[in-house]
Amino acid sequence: MPCETGTEIARAAKLLREGKLVAFATETVYGLGAHALDDRAAAGIFAAKERPAFDPLIVHIAERAQLNELVSEVPDLAVKLADAFWPGPLTMVLPKREIVPDLVTSGLPSVAVRIPAHPIARELLRTAGIPVAAPSANLFGQVSPTTAAHVSEQLGDRIDYILDGGPCTVGLESTVVAITREWVTLLRPGGTPVEVIEEVVGKVMIPEPAGPESDETAQHSPGMLTKHYAPRKPLFIVDDLSQASKKWNPAETGVLLLEESPLTEDFASVESLSPAGDLTEAAMNFFAALRRLDKADIARIVATPFPDQGLGRALNDRLRRASVR
């Protein structure tokens, strides 16, 4: 039987304090939360998601003051970023304190932390009064959830409560950056565009993407695993839809693209993410559209890339990880 979905913040907070698993809305995607300082509770996240233990979790807090309990150093660059982007879709990786269980960081000496902007998430974190570890509330490697119903579908019978906060407004996971005294390094593109971060701290280091054969970056930031966020249907990235309709039978093919196009006419199902070509709107619709295509009566999905700027970079990153190569 799937667990209850509701809007009772006090109940959700109590469950978290007791070491239970609670999925909750954030502005990016729904998170699967557990008490971050309780080994056993955090272990429950890995079990429910079938997530490998080498993939560390993001710890969510309500207030900046809680950061000092979790990390041993807050470099100036981190202060600047927190001033500019918290609460919001930015996660900072900083040196961890002893109190953070190794399980949460997968044995890494650093911990990923963010303050989410969703008012319900923040109220939950404030009421619970504890840091909450929360990956996206989906089975490992599958499409991230942007509604309570998405969570219920995949994890409903494995967790204790789903705190409904409506559809996520950002729609993509947070941007993850590692911070040292000198550098900010991008570990995962996401809801805060790199260009906007660079306006605050100058040049951001962007490591070479890991090739399909070497998941090397993944050792440092496993959200970078080349195959991730994937639908079950094969997804192909194509530059040109008219070529795609020659290669594949359009009657068996679904299309994911930014703006509507006359070239999609013959395809079996079409998800255009923003009629106005707005990347913010596209990000918000991305994962739900991917899920609909995954369920549609088609054999494959073809997708055209997004403009490679702003949120378009994070969207292209998710497309690549969802695709067949």
302 interacts with, out of ligand TXA, Mg ion, none, CB within 5 to 8 A per kind: none
Site string for ligand TXA, 93-112 (x = CB under 6 A): x-----------x--x-xxx
**Binds ligand TXA by CB under 6 A, chosen from 38, 160, 164, 173:** 173
Partner from ligand TXA, Mg ion, none binding residue 169, C-beta < 5-8 Å depending on class: none
One-letter identity of residue 222: P
Comparison of 9 and 134: residue with beta carbon closer to ligand TXA: 134
Cis peptide leading into residue 87 (ω within 30°): yes
Instruction: Give the strands of the sheet with 300-303, arranged side by side.
Output: 235-237, 300-303, 253-257, 269-272
Q: Is 88 a residue that touches ligand TXA (CB under 6 A)?
A: no
The upper half-sphere exposure of residue 63, i.e. CA atoms within 13 Å in the direction of its Cβ, equals 9
- Chosen from ligand TXA, Mg ion, none, partner binding at 291 (C-beta under 5 to 8 Å by type): none
Q: Is 171 in the site for ligand TXA (CB under 6 A)?
A: no
**CA 132, CA 23: separation in Å to the nearest integer?**
11
User: Site for ligand TXA (CB under 6 A): which residue of 9, 36, 48, 57?
Assistant: 57
Matching residue, tokens 């272990």: 43
The one among 134, 194, 270, 302 contacting ligand TXA by CB under 6 A = 134
Tell the burial category of 227 from Cβ atoms under 10 Å away from its Cβ (0-12, 13-18, 19+): middle
Q: Report the C-alpha gap between 84 and 82 in whole angstroms.
A: 5
Q: Does 220 bind ligand TXA (CB under 6 A)?
A: yes
58 binds, among Mg ion, ligand TXA, none (CB under 5 to 8 A by kind): ligand TXA
Is 12 near ligand TXA (CB under 6 A)?
no
Buried b (16+ CB within 10 A) or exposed e, 127-156: bbebbbbbbbbbeebbbbbbbbbbbbebbb
- Position among 176, 184, 235, 302 found at the interface with ligand TXA (CB under 6 A): 176
The residues of the shown chain that bind ligand TXA, judged by CB under 6 A, are: 26, 28-29, 31, 55-58, 89, 91, 93, 105, 108, 110-112, 116, 134-136, 173-174, 176, 187-188, 220-224
